[in-house]
Amino acid sequence: MKGQILKRFLSCLAILFAAAISYGNDPAPPNAQSQTALMPRSPFRVPLARINITFDPERRQYNQVRIFFDESGAYSVIAPGDDMQVNRRGQTTVYREQAGRTFQLSDFEAQTINQVTRTLIATLEIFESILRNEDWGRALYLDAFLPRFLRGFHVMICAARDSPDALPRAALVREDDFDASLNSPKSDARIRMWQTEKDRIMVLRITTQELITQAKRWQRLELNNSKRNRELSYSGDFDRAFTAFIRNYFGYTQ
């Protein structure tokens, strides 16, 4: 008799425990994030270029980008029309786009995008190592920079190709999915999603490695290729890998 009572007690305890786990995986109430302690960040040098999305007054859209590779004050502007480069002394060089050919990558655009892609590859290699070693402090720190960069990267490619569909729209990071902050609860929620969803980290590592491979291939075929055919785009495999990475990083389902 005592054995049966004990079994029933343990059974009830297991059900309550399972319910507690399920409740813990539900989205937190709106005011719960502020009450939840943030996980510690582990700072390191993030090699990403800084991409600022800027307003195009002629088209009345946020569809051009300003790109900084260092702290010198120099920057490049990639836009649907003419591009430009500003050196550290404020001197400006304008790169004119040929009418009717703005969908093609100019030499300046290819060179600039290649530099930006180089910083992406270096960061993805660090990120893959972070996932492999489950170094969540560095993952949280990187998340303060990477989402904004990825959104800017998408706008940059669309501006260079003069088309909002130059990269799949499914690969555009939603603005409300990140904060420009080193201590955003959205970062903590994202890393917890990776940790708790079945196979998420494994798939994320695979998509990271594939994006690195396709980025290097795109550099070789187009961005670094002086003999490329400007009438053609060689970024199809990169576009698909970029989209897969975004979907897995942010947990997008559509």
Residue range 132-156: average pLDDT?
Answer: 97
- pLDDT single digits (tens) 6-59: 344 334 433 333 333 222 333 333 334 444 689 999 999 999 999 999 877 777
Higher pLDDT, 224 or 31: 224
In-domain check, residue 15: no
Q: What mean pLDDT do residues 130-140 have?
A: 97
- What's the domain count of the chain? 1
The answer to the question of residue 129 being in a domain is yes
What is the model's pLDDT at position 205?
A: 98
| Distance, CA of 130 to CA of 67 (rounded, Å) | 26
Percent of the chain with pLDDT over 70: 85
In a domain, 96, yes or no: yes
The mean of the pLDDT values for the chain is 86
Q: What is the DSSP letter of 250?
A: H
Q: How far apart, in whole angstroms, are the C-alpha atoms of residue 245 and residue 185?
A: 21
Give the pLDDT band (50/70/90) at residue 135: very high
10: in domain: no
Q: Is residue 16 in a domain? A: no
Residue 9 in any domain: the answer is no
Band (118; pLDDT cuts 50, 70, 90): very high
> Dihedral of CA 148/205/42/49: which sign?
negative
Question: Span 175-186, mean pLDDT?
Answer: 95
For residue 205, how far is the Cα from the chain centroid?
14
DSSP assignments along 27-76, one per residue: PPPTTTGGGSPPPPP------PPEEEEEEETTTTEEEEEEEESSSSS-EE
Residue 45 lies in a domain: no
Question: Is residue 33 domain-resident?
Answer: no
What's the pLDDT score for residue 67? 98
Instruction: Return all residues near 153 (Cβ < 8 A) that are at least 6 apart.
Output: 51, 116, 120
The reported pTM is 0.84
Range of the domain at 106: 50-250
